[in-house]
Amino acid sequence: MEKMDNNTIIRFTKSHGFRWNDGSKWNKDIPVGELAHACTEAWNDIDDMNFASAELPTEELCKKCEALLDDDSDQEDWDRFNDSLSAYAETMTVEQLTEWFVRLNDPATIFRVETVDAE
């Protein structure tokens, strides 16, 4: 992908008959400037924490998450983890974020990812 400004939109399109977690159909349009947040939100929406820990962008984050799962961690520990996840996501490239978003949202049902100029 070429260099994009924060207003450029990444459009993710699901196959016919599949819906996004929020119930919407077909396209999910996310401005580049909101993609890191959309990824961390999608990660936090995963119910299966074993799957979620495997879908983190780095081995270090995976290990931290697994340690929280193994320990009797409280909400403060999870809040700190989410802060570090959000901070890391903000350092990722658009390509990395796009790939991560697809992995977090049932990749077999997403058939197209494209950039769309903001109108």
pLDDT at 31: 94
pLDDT over threshold 80, residue 119: no
CA atoms of 20 and 43, how far apart (whole Å) = 14
Residue 3 in any domain: the answer is no
Residue 2 in any domain: the answer is no
pTM of the model: 0.88
Q: How many domains does the chain have?
A: 1
Encode pLDDT of 36-85 as tens digits. Answer: 999 999 999 999 988 999 999 999 999 999 999 988 889 999 999 999 99
pLDDT over threshold 60, residue 2: no
Range of the domain at 91: 9-116
Residue 1 in any domain: the answer is no
Do 21 and 38 contact (CB within 8 A), yes or no? Answer: no
